[in-house]
Amino acid sequence: MPELPEVEAVAQSLRPLVEGRKIRCVHVLHPIATKPQAPAKLAHATEGQQIRAVRRKGKYLWLELATGIVTLHFKLDGQLLWFSGAKELFAKANKLKPENGVHVDVAFELDKGVLGFADGRHFGRVLAWDSEPSCPAIAGLGIDAISPGFTTPQFTKLLAASKRPIKEFLLDQSKVAGVGNIYSCESLWHAKLNPRRRANSLTAAESGKLHKAIVSVLARALECCLHPAPDFRDPEWWFQGLEEILRVYDREGKPCRRCGHPVKRSTQGVRATYFCAHCQK
């Protein structure tokens, strides 16, 4: 699932393509992508409107319109595509033979170019809202993990108020928005903290180390996600090189890059957790 660095890279790459553009019409090719809203609601809320800005918080991306917003949530495999125009869109979209085209769920035909949203597994969603506060998902997000508001004192205060295991705390988007399974494992490894420790058991020094690790891990991942930057014109494009910066995630049984002991894998909730039992205390 795309986490904060991936979605931020998408946002930065998308802005020069769509900001200031007018939405001429919307093509909903797979209505499941707008559920529980009707496709007509998305069309009515967006057609004829100008895209004023591309915004992001946590893992959420949205288009700020002259009136209202459109949220784009990628879930597990969602991605954005770019077409030169409607002619190219309909020449390539949803052909029976995959080699002759690409999957597209929703397409925004702009006054220049077409922005497509695609998720072959149909978990991702494109939804229209009157405003940011009216969108429950955005309204319920906590502090964005790369925002100025994500400070050590504020993070320490949040940790101290929670009895949950640290890993589960980090995955709670209502506390800190944007950190998912991959970067929570990585941050805890860098901070040398056991993912099962209670959040409120951390000392002030440990909280500071974890805050620093989160900021550092996300910054490095974002740099990787931007080099190369997302290429929406290539339907096969995906983030390259991230596996090279990972220290512990998905490395079960392999030597810890710090102490050499084998990396362990456990389950917390329904998510896999990777950690070094020897050096993460």
CATH number at residue 55: 3.20.190.10
Please give the pLDDT value at position 263.
Answer: 98
- Name the 3-class secondary structure at 230: coil
pTM of the predicted model, to two decimals? Answer: 0.94
Same domain, 78 and 173: no
Q: Which of 2, 5, 165, 195 is catalytic?
A: 2
Residue 197 is a catalytic residue: no
Q: Which of 56, 57, 59, 264 is catalytic?
A: 59
Q: What is the band of 69 on the pLDDT scale with cuts at 50, 70, 90?
A: very high
Catalytic member of 3, 8, 109, 206: 3
Could you tell me if residue 135 is inside a domain? yes
The answer to whether 8 touches 25, Cβ cutoff 8 Å, is no
Q: Which of 105, 122, 139 is the last residue of a domain?
A: 139
| Domain contains 280 | no
Question: Are 117 and 226 in the same domain?
Answer: no
**Is residue 209 helix, strand or coil?**
helix
* 127/151 same-domain check: no
In percent, the amount of the chain with pLDDT more than 70 equals: 98
Arithmetic mean of pLDDT over the chain: 96
Residue 3 catalytic?
Answer: yes
**Which is catalytic among the residues 55, 92, 220, 271?**
271
Give backbone dihedrals phi and psi of 5, rounded to 5 degrees, phi first.
Answer: -60, -40
pLDDT by residue (tens digit) across 192-249? 999 999 999 999 999 999 999 999 999 999 999 999 999 999 998 989 889 899 999 9
Task: Please say if 271 is a catalytic residue.
Answer: yes
Specify burial of residue 111 (Cβ count, 10 A radius: 0-12, 13-18, 19+).
exposed
